[in-house]
Structures are given as structure tokens and as C-alpha cells.
Amino acid sequence: MRFYKLFIILFFSFNSFCQKTISDQNSLSEKQNVILDYSKLSADSLNNLLDRFMKEAYFTCQNYIPEYVNLSKDLIQRSIILNFREKDLTGIKNISEVAIKNKCNSNLSHSNQFNLNTFNPIIYRLNFLSNQDQLFRLYNSNYVLYIKGK
């Protein structure tokens, strides 16, 4: 009889735990929105955006552009900007902690806030070749740059 009571208690405890875990996963997916998935852009849109990004990043070093175009295009196509609502993002590295490549454009610097229209992931010293997924919080906002591993 004691074993039976213990079994019933464990069964309901486990069931409750599973329900909570499923509920937590569902609420997480409801709290994130894909704002911009670069891989979903048309070829023309992606090329235009990449052209703008490259000209900004390599302003005075236009000879670098052919060398870095494919690498940068690959990074962009693996990048997604997400918006997390009601989520604590303090554990995610802030993009402001990542150095900026400003050798070819001394006007580049970190921003005070995230702006989707002007954000250029190419200007940051990101690990383009990483096999690991990377996350960067975008200037203390609820926006996150997610880069899929190669």
C-alpha cells in the first residue's frame, strides 16, 4: 500500500513537471519574433544590402571588398535578428563588447542604441568561421543577433 501511494505521488509530480516544461518552451517561442532573416531576402535585396554593408565597412579600402565579399555574404546569410519580449537578456554578450573594424572607415563606432535600418553586422570583429551558434544582444535592447554556426 505504501509503495502504491509513493507511485501515485511520483506519477503526479512527474506529470506536473512535464506539463510545466512544455508550457515554458511554448512561452519562450511566443516571446521571440524573427525581425529579419537575411537568408530569406531575395538575391537582389541581399546583394544590394551586402554592397551597402561592404562599402561602409571598407570605405577607404575598396580593394579589400572582393577578398571579403564571399565571407561576408556567408555570414549575412547565416544571420537573423530576433526580438525577445519579456525576456532577461543580461546573460547574452552585448555587441558593444565586440571590437569594430574601423581601419578602413575611421567614422565607424559603437552606437548608443540599436537601429534596424542602419545596423551593419559586417563592421564587427565577429568570428565568421565559427561552427558554434553565436548570440549578441544589440545595444541593451530586446533585439538579438543570432548567427548560425557553419
d(CA 121, CA 37): 13
- Pick the closest to residue 95 from 132, 36, 146, 28 (CA basis): 146
| Whether residues 125 and 64 fall in one domain | yes
Q: Could you tell me if 74 and 1 lie in one domain?
A: no
| This prediction's pTM | 0.76
Same domain, 124 and 73: yes
* Residue 105 scores a pLDDT above 70: yes
| pLDDT of res. 28 | 38
The reply to whether 1 and 50 lie within a common domain is: no
Q: Domain count of the chain?
A: 2
Same domain, 119 and 63: yes
Whether residues 79 and 129 share a domain: the answer is: yes
The C-alpha cell that represents 118 in the structure block: 542602419
Q: How many CB atoms lie within 10 A of CB 9?
A: 10
Write out the residue range of the structural domain in which residue 11 sits.
1-30
Same domain, 12 and 36: no
Residue 85 banded pLDDT, cuts 50, 70, 90: confident
pLDDT at 5 over 60: no
Domain co-membership, 13 together with 40: no
| 25 plus 94 within the same structural domain | no
Q: Are residues 38 and 24 in the same domain?
A: no
- In this prediction, residues 13-19 reach a mean pLDDT of 37
107/88 Cα distance (integer angstroms): 32
24 and 98 share a domain? no
pLDDT digits (tens, 9 = 90+) for 20-29: 333 333 443 4
Residues 9 and 37 in one domain: no
